[in-house]
């Protein structure tokens, strides 16, 4: 049980955490993987190499310590992390391992400050946090398993089709090996898939946005090929070069706290690069349901060759009140609705539902920050701006 003394003690360590910074979590991960190398099959090792995951974990720990007496502030962050955990099939016993190495990390990095009282407080605080995640994740697992087509643990799928969508993006359709139905999902959610690429020492688990409307039979993801010399490209290059029709993968049920909520208001879908993938699920769902409200589809990418789903999106204009605007970094083509350079909303602001629309963003962090600031400047309230981030969580 977390006492007031525990809370006060944890909050008193905030300056220590701040002074140490991400070095705490870098040490934590090195320690954990040394003693529990089996977890390398679970964690994204690319994010370890780039520093993204240690930084994200440090920010989460610091936020928890800061708001430990008012956890409601962290509700959205907790739900986002819990959804991500379920796509990795995280289980309660793994929280014990993480907790052990977190406490030992604090002891090793700050032996003088890590007194018996501090240790007791952090053990209690971590126990409370772990209990929150275990309960939420258990509920999510049970909820998905109970739905038509639902399941627990990883389920085997085969590649039913593989289709290039642009110079860099390829779509993969997966069908379950057992021939049964699959659970529905909310447009905007993602699929956690597991592979063991040939030559790799460990399994690779990644999350990819589902890129079409649910159909109870198959799942589709659309994957951008990252640079071959880019650590982030390990999985994407394997999918593009080696995963073919008939090959198998494993998947967890769809997850994610970013999804379309039908408020019967105008909708604006804004994407940069491969961030258009969850928008395809939303658009196709709108078309399937004959969504009556205006839909604005705004997309930015490098050039026409990297513009995925262009023909498909334009083809939906006949079934939706759809306005399409595109920004290319490089183009010599001028036509209605096409602009050169970065996405500048000023040129279309008169047509945007600034006062009552719901805005959905997905793309690189810098892109989303740039666009969000424009929306706020135009007068869009922050609670009507929703976003999805690929990779470790960051605030936009």
329 noted as active-site residue: no
Tokens of 219: 């799942």
Provide the sign of the torsion angle of the four alpha carbons 247, 251, 253, 259, taken in this order. Answer: negative
Query: Is 141 known as a binding-site position?
Result: no
CA 302 from centroid of its chain's CA atoms: 22
Do the beta carbons of residue 134 and residue 92 sit within 8 Å? Answer: yes
Query: Is 51 known as a binding-site position?
Result: no
Looking at beta carbons, which pairs linking 43-52 to residues 24 or more positions away fall under 8 Å?
Answer: 44/204, 44/205, 44/206, 45/202, 46/231, 46/232, 46/234, 46/235, 47/391, 47/392, 49/231, 50/231, 50/232, 51/22, 51/26, 52/391, 52/392
Query: Is 209 known as a binding-site position?
Result: yes
Do the beta carbons of residue 82 and residue 103 sit within 8 Å? Answer: no
Query: Is 234 known as a binding-site position?
Result: no
Query: Is 99 known as a binding-site position?
Result: no
> In whole angstroms, how large is the CA radius of gyration of the chain?
22
Query: Is 390 known as a binding-site position?
Result: yes
Contacts of 334 (CB under 8 A, 6+ apart): none
Do the beta carbons of residue 211 and residue 172 sit within 8 Å? Answer: no
Contacts of 339 (CB under 8 A, 6+ apart): 325, 326, 327, 328, 347
Alpha-carbon distance 291 to 298, whole Å? Answer: 18
Query: Is 389 known as a binding-site position?
Result: yes
350 noted as active-site residue: no
Query: Is 126 known as a binding-site position?
Result: no
Active-site residue, selected from the candidate residues 29, 95, 141, 291: 95
Q: 């739905």: which residue's tokens?
A: 147
Query: Is 85 known as a binding-site position?
Result: yes
Query: Is 275 known as a binding-site position?
Result: yes
Query: Is 246 known as a binding-site position?
Result: no
Active-site residue, selected from the candidate residues 26, 137, 204, 388: 137
Query: Is 274 known as a binding-site position?
Result: yes
Q: 């409370």: which residue's tokens?
A: 128
Do the beta carbons of residue 311 and residue 321 sit within 8 Å? Answer: no
Query: Is 273 known as a binding-site position?
Result: yes
Which residue numbers belong to the known binding site?
A: 85, 190, 206-209, 273-278, 389-392
* Residue numbers annotated as active site: 95, 137
Task: Detail the residues annotated as belonging to a binding site for heme b.
Answer: 85
Q: List binding-site positions for NADP(+).
A: 273-278
């Amino acid at each position: 049980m977390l006492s007031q003394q525990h809370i006060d003690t944890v909050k008193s360590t905030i300056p220590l955490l701040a002074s140490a910074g991400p070095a705490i979590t870098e040490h934590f991960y090195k320690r954990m993987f040394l003693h529990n190398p089996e977890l390398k099959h679970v964690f994204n090792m690319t994010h370890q190499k780039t520093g993204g995951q240690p930084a994200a974990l440090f920010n989460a720990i610091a936020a928890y310590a800061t708001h430990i007496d008012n956890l409601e502030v962290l509700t959205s962050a907790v739900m986002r992390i819990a959804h991500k955990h379920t796509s990795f099939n995280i289980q309660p016993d793994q929280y014990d391992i993480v907790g052990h190495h977190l406490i030992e990390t604090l002891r090793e990095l700050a032996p003088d400050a890590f007194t018996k009282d501090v240790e007791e407080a952090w053990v209690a605080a971590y126990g409370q946090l772990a209990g929150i995640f275990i309960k939420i994740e258990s509920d999510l697992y049970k909820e998905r398993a109970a739905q038509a087509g639902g399941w627990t643990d990883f389920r085997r799928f085969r590649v039913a089709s593989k289709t290039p969508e642009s110079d860099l993006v390829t779509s993969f359709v997966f069908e379950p090996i057992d021939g049964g139905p699959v659970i529905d999902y909310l447009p905007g959610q993602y699929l956690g898939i597991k592979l063991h690429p040939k030559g790799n020492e460990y399994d690779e688990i990644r999350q990819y946005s589902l890129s079409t409307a649910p159909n109870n039979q198959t799942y589709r993801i659309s994957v951008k090929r990252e640079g071959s010399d880019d650590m982030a490209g390990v999985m994407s290059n394997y999918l593009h070069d080696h995963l073919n029709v008939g090959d198998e993968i494993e998947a967890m049920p769809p997850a994610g706290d970013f999804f379309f909520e039908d408020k019967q208001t105008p909708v604006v879908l804004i994407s940069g690069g491969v961030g258009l993938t969850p928008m395809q699920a939303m658009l196709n769902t709108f078309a399937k349901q004959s969504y009556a409200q205006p839909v604005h589809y705004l997309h930015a990418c490098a050039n026409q060759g990297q513009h995925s789903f262009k023909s498909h999106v334009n083809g939906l204009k006949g079934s939706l009140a759809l306005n399409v605007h595109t920004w290319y970094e490089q183009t010599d083509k001028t036509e209605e609705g096409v602009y050169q350079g970065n996405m500048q909303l000023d040129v279309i602001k008169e047509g945007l539902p600034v006062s009552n629309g719901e805005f959905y963003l997905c793309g690189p962090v810098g892109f989303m920050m740039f666009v969000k600031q424009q929306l706020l400047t135009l007068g869009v309230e922050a609670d009507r701006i929703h976003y999805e981030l690929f990779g470790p969580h960051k605030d936009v």
